[in-house]
Structure 1
């Protein structure tokens, strides 16, 4: 049986996601804070993600009939109560002892989707058990990093299928880690007892002997990095829908759809991989235009308010994902903290929709933005 998280009180004075972040700083040590809150290099993209949403203005409309409005949305054949999902975040037990299990219960409680990281600090089967039995839950997806051993990757996919996960989210924008100065300054390391438990048993990569003129990056590390051929291979070994996370270029988006991807997630990895890439809010409309109206397009990066969710829908998103905010909620109050973050976003979204004269998500369009 899955462990049921304890009920914890939300700290006094927390009424926004920014409050959750500020309070979480006192709950997380320097090691965990650097990992969860830091970005790549000078963190230009990390800041740009947030600033881009701030710089988009909304247009209010008045005297429209709003009775019977709702935030429901169709996504991959399912009806979601609202368009907010929890993005994959690794090693959540660094934030709270209940880790990913707390996030799963919170997602189920609030009708939110959950994307479990393949680097989860708790077994994927345990998370599925906690979430799948809840009638009000959102979708349960599994995030996949291709491993250097394709046999192990296939077994990991089969485990996710058997456990009841409903889609695979393949991260495609991180063939290597970014230059994360904050982590290097604190000498980041995983605390004792925390690991990527779902990757236990992965054989070590074969040692590579490099000639003096060869690169450790290009001639060793990247020899097992996935390519489009690996996406084709994955489609042949799973029955699950496949979404590609980390698509930031129109041509890649078009190629993905032509080659059978079931959805796109516009993401720059929260500014954690390549610094000075554009904010996701700026790229989103281009990706939507490239893939057409029918392909599911999700977006993450810097979303902190219900108004941001509304803006994302207006720019063409089917739904959004949040990462850091719910980890801060987790650090503050476990499952209740994550639940509070989700509830705040949904309430703020409904208020913003009402004030913009939008009774449903279908009413939100480019005209909802002030130009």
Structure 2
């Protein structure tokens, strides 16, 4: 049940505004903030605004253009995929609600190994689920987690490679970082009681469900071991060596199925990923949550697409907020786009229904953009549909100078 207005969400901006009003400041900041000054996060948004689109008129096209594509070998009806994310203390629906919303929208959900709900429960809500891992613990521990994903019915595996610069629990940010509680003891309840009282609608959601915000990481548990807290899981990850290409080759071989390496921006890294077994490349700077002042991955996308050719799928994320952003990324060669903060806003606003409504805002605005461009399908999009500033793209030679 929703405790907000039942007025449907009509844009990501509206979902964000509702989430900001509803959530405690620490929860919203944890979801919203980028690393350090947030320069990369802002650059990700600006990059899309710098690219224009060329309208075409008088074209005979259907009123509902074709949005179908493939993601990690799966057919999907919407080229917008739920990116994996941890610590979903936004709504008691949690990852299961997100999975249901994605299934209803005809798309895939990525599930983080730091998720607050077990993979088995989430997989039962969406048959098109991909699992996400960081390198954490020794290889036996990693192998056990991979096998758990496999037994749960996960269809593909995503490994995020780019969060090496942020391997601290409380990452410093210019606007301040919230401190994540280590579990839910009496001290935690007393400390956050005033916050809960000041945000009654958010608090009542959990009270009426008889639950609490997810501060545990059930998919990080070891055989026969207790479920760790989120902080406990993060500490294990921080204590593990930074992943190498050798680790990626081992993991790809262990999984043996669709395998994405995410967090790449340069053509040479994309080629290395294919060499170690990646079937999909995730062009991304982690939404501005890794190395601050990194250029938008949109500026690198065509060079990566060219380097990859037909050897792997190319997906894109970082700064996507509306359907026109999706269309621009697809026109530059991506086969699909992943979103993070937008679905978080929807979850915070109205749980499963909020996530579904955010996905539908993307569907509607993608269709509207295609009609404006005179295209009957996302497959017909090309760079010729765009107006791009001179020197916007970072090609392979520029990467070498960069």
**TM-score bin, normalised by smaller chain:** 0.7 to 0.9
Name 2:75's counterpart in structure 1: 79
**Contact kept in structure 1, 2:72 and 2:259, CA below 8 Å:** no
2:356 aligned to which of 318, 339, 344: 339
1:69 aligned to which of 65, 85, 89: 65
Report the alpha carbon displacement of residue 149 of structure 1 after superposing the two structures with TM: 1.8
SS in 2 for 1:26: helix
Does structure 1 residue 224 correspond to structure 2 residue 207? no
Correspondence list, 1:1-371, <5 A: 6=1, 11-12=6-7, 14-67=9-62, 69-92=65-88, 94-132=89-127, 139-177=128-166, 179-181=171-173, 184-189=176-181, 192=184, 194-201=215-222, 224-371=241-388
Count of residue pairs the alignment pairs up = 344
Residue deviations 1:172-231 (CA, integer Å, cap 9, x gap): 01135264416854434366252111112389xxxxxxxxxxxxxxxx967622111111
Which whole-Å CA distance do the structure 2 matches of 1:331 and 1:127 have between them? 18
Q: 1:281 to 1:45 in 2, by over 3 A?
A: same
More helix by share: 2
Residue deviations 1:78-102 (CA, integer Å, cap 9, x gap): 321021100011011x111111111
Report the alpha carbon displacement of residue 119 of structure 1 after superposing the two structures with TM: 0.4
Residue deviations 1:119-155 (CA, integer Å, cap 9, x gap): 00000110001112xxxxxx31101111122111100
SS in 1 for 2:125: helix
**Contact kept in structure 2, 1:298 and 1:317, CA below 8 Å:** yes
Name 1:210's counterpart in structure 2: none
Q: 1:199 to 1:359 in 2, by over 3 A?
A: same
Report the alpha carbon displacement of residue 294 of structure 1 after superposing the two structures with TM: 4.7
Q: 1:172 to 1:182 in 2, by over 3 A?
A: same
SS in 1 for 2:131: strand
Which whole-Å CA distance do the structure 1 matches of 2:5 and 2:302 have between them? 36
**Contact kept in structure 2, 1:61 and 1:356, CA below 8 Å:** yes
Residue deviations 1:298-343 (CA, integer Å, cap 9, x gap): 0111111111110010111110000011111001100000000000
SS in 1 for 2:216: coil
Report the alpha carbon displacement of residue 164 of structure 1 after superposing the two structures with TM: 0.6
TM-score, normalisation: structure 1: 0.87
SS in 2 for 1:148: coil
Which whole-Å CA distance do the structure 1 matches of 2:181 and 2:48 have between them? 33
SS in 2 for 1:181: coil
Q: 1:314 to 1:162 in 2, by over 3 A?
A: same
Task: Tell me the C-alpha RMSD between the 2 structures.
Answer: 2.2
Q: 1:313 to 1:8 in 2, by over 3 A?
A: farther
Report the alpha carbon displacement of residue 285 of structure 1 after superposing the two structures with TM: 1.3
Name 1:135's counterpart in structure 2: none
Report the alpha carbon displacement of residue 113 of structure 1 after superposing the two structures with TM: 1.0
SS in 2 for 1:142: strand
Which whole-Å CA distance do the structure 2 matches of 1:90 and 1:298 have between them? 20
| Contiguous gaps of at least 5 residues in structure 2 | 185-213, 226-236, 389-402
Which whole-Å CA distance do the structure 1 matches of 2:172 and 2:378 have between them? 37
Which whole-Å CA distance do the structure 2 matches of 1:13 and 1:7 have between them? 11
Which whole-Å CA distance do the structure 1 matches of 2:381 and 2:359 have between them? 21
SS in 2 for 1:175: helix
**Contact kept in structure 2, 1:297 and 1:319, CA below 8 Å:** yes
Q: 1:358 to 1:10 in 2, by over 3 A?
A: farther
**Contact kept in structure 1, 2:82 and 2:338, CA below 8 Å:** yes
